[in-house]
Amino acid sequence: MQSQNSLIKNKAVFLDRDGVLNVERGDYTWKTLDFEVCPGVPEALKLLKQHGYHLIVVTNQAGITKGLYTKADVLACHEKLQAACGNALDALYMAPGHPSHSESLSRKPNSLMLERAIARFNLEPAACWLVGDQPRDIEAAAKCGVTGVLVGPHPAGTYIHQQQDLLAAAEWIINSQVKV
């Protein structure tokens, strides 16, 4: 017999890292000195937490496989992000593979990082969102039934759900009638 808690599904917002949570520098961001949290991110995460969302980072980190930096460097940036955001993030999933070096089902646009979090946190995909700044983020979300929100400078109308930044996306998610 299943327990009552195992029947209850949770909701989450998956968050791409570079360009959503921290400033996109056009190159790999792995030094904590270069890691700059985007304006509005602490407020956005706090708002989403107040509305009961798990907050899960899903990030491609090909620089690890390329030998440019280490997993420890990524984790140090994550610690800096957590400190700036009141430890609001529930988990960090990273895909260190690079297409020129290896195949990876975790690397977005594939969805294994999301699928692992869905299982771990007992998430209902239809009640989840992914906020990303690249089409590959939105593709990964769609593969597992999660709605994607594209942020940043993209031509208007490129995607159904587009917002300026994470704070605008968080406010839109909270106020959205699309999800119940």
Residues known to be catalytic: 16, 18
Q: Which residues of 141-159 are buried (b: 16+ CB within 10 A; e: fewer)?
A: beebebbbbbbbeeeeeee
Q: Residue 36 belongs to what H/E stretch?
A: none
Residue 178: how many other CB atoms lie within 10 Å: 10
Fill in the amino acid letter for 61: Q
Residue 38: how many other CB atoms lie within 10 Å: 19
Q: Tokens 């990303």 label which residue?
A: 132
Q: State the Cα angle at 103 between 138 and 118, rounded to 5°.
A: 45
Strand, coil or helix: 56: strand
Closest CA to 41 of 88, 77, 93: 88
Fill in the amino acid letter for 104: S
